[in-house]
């Protein structure tokens, strides 16, 4: 190899190493912010740092997946609907890209069998989970027309496939999150008589979710169980028991999510008389 070629190769190697180090540094800074991301400014900074790292290393599925989660989290604490939808859309794009689709549009366009086959083969439980959540919230915040369009285009079956794949891969992920969210999905399926879903089936998933969540100290599944199942089933005793557990439990190792759980539990209890007329 000539001196000029050697110099170019060395330059490229050093440049690549510098990019890798720069990405690693950005990721480290972002990780330092995660425990306090219940502060919106810290969550936004963490997202920006991860996005910069992803720009340097665009093929990294782990960064896409982490960003899918964080964009979802920013979406649920945003007060403006368009901002919410922007965050959910970005999260869904990243999550589905991590799963091997051409973003959200690729997931939408995929035939049902192709979609199911791809998600069933995935070993990325986080991408399965956050893609489902981001897509679901994007539809939910889109109004009735978006919800009807989603039903007519087969979106519910695809979200179902994502959650079932996540449960099969790791039912304990995120404190039992796959069981929790699949339980909520089944409640809605039962309401619209889709896929033969029943409240009893939903309850079984919620029971498993809070069993896992209890061991992890994660409180959100208790709130979802109360809001989605107990209200639908007309079980006020279950509703109040789940929410009082949340209010009495410590924040523990889930500073972002357990704060949200406590605020939501208090709000739901304040509406109990209206919810159980």
What letter does residue 194 receive in the DSSP assignment? Answer: -
pLDDT of residue 15: 47
Interacting residues of 146 by C-beta distance below 8 A, sequence separation 6+: 138, 139
Q: How confident is the model at residue 31 (pLDDT cuts 50, 70, 90)?
A: very high
The answer to whether residues 152 and 139 touch, using CB atoms and an 8 Å cutoff, is no
Phi, psi angles (nearest 5°) of residue 241: -65, -45
- Please state, in angstroms and rounded to a whole number, the distance separating the CA atoms of residues 75 and 134: 9
Tell me the two tokens of residue 187.
């409640």
- Please state, in angstroms and rounded to a whole number, the distance separating the CA atoms of residues 73 and 136: 13
Residue 3, pLDDT > 60, answer no
Residue 9, pLDDT > 80, answer no
pLDDT of residue 192: 87
pLDDT of residue 12: 41
- Please state, in angstroms and rounded to a whole number, the distance separating the CA atoms of residues 253 and 26: 23
For CA atoms 256, 257, 260, 265, give the dihedral sign.
negative
Cβ-in-10-Å burial (0-12, 13-18, 19+) of 182 comes to: buried
The answer to whether residues 260 and 76 touch, using CB atoms and an 8 Å cutoff, is yes
What does pLDDT average to over the chain?
93
pLDDT of residue 151: 87
Question: What are the pLDDT digits (tens) for 120-156?
Answer: 999 999 999 999 999 999 999 999 989 889 988 999 9
Tell me the two tokens of residue 254.
């889930």
State the average pLDDT over residues 174-198. 95
Question: What are the pLDDT digits (tens) for 104-123?
Answer: 999 999 999 999 999 999 99
Within the chain, where are the H helices?
Answer: 3-33, 40-56, 61-77, 81-98, 103-109, 112-121, 125-140, 143-152, 155-170, 173-191, 199-216, 220-224, 231-233, 236-248, 255-270, 272-275
- Global pTM reads 0.91
């Amino acid at each position: 190899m000539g001196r000029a070629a050697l110099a170019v190769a060395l330059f490229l190697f050093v440049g690549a190493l510098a990019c890798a180090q720069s990405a690693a540094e950005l990721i480290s800074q972002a990780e330092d912010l995660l425990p306090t991301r219940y502060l919106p400014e810290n969550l936004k900074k963490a997202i920006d740092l991860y996005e910069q790292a992803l720009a340097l290393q665009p093929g990294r599925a782990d960064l896409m997946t982490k960003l899918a989660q964080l964009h979802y989290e920013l979406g649920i604490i945003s007060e403006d609907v368009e901002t919410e939808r922007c965050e959910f859309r970005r999260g869904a794009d990243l999550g589905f890209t991590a799963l091997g689709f051409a973003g959200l549009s690729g997931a939408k366009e995929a035939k049902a069998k192709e979609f199911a086959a791809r998600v069933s083969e995935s070993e990325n439980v986080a991408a399965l989970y956050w893609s489902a959540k981001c897509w679901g919230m994007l539809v939910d915040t889109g109004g009735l027309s978006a919800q009807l369009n989603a039903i007519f285009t087969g979106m519910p079956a695809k979200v179902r496939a994502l959650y079932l794949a996540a449960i099969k891969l790791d039912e304990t992920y995120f404190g039992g999150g796959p069981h929790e969210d699949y339980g909520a999905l089944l409640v809605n399926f039962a309401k619209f008589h889709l896929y033969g879903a029943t409240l009893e089936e939903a309850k079984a998933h919620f029971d498993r979710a809070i069993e896992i969540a209890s061991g992890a100290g994660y409180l959100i599944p208790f709130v979802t169980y109360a809001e989605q199942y107990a209200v639908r089933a007309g079980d006020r005793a279950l509703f109040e028991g789940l929410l009082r557990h949340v209010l009495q439990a410590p924040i523990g190792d889930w500073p972002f999510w357990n704060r949200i759980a406590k605020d939501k539990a208090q709000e739901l209890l304040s509406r109990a008389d209206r919810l159980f007329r």
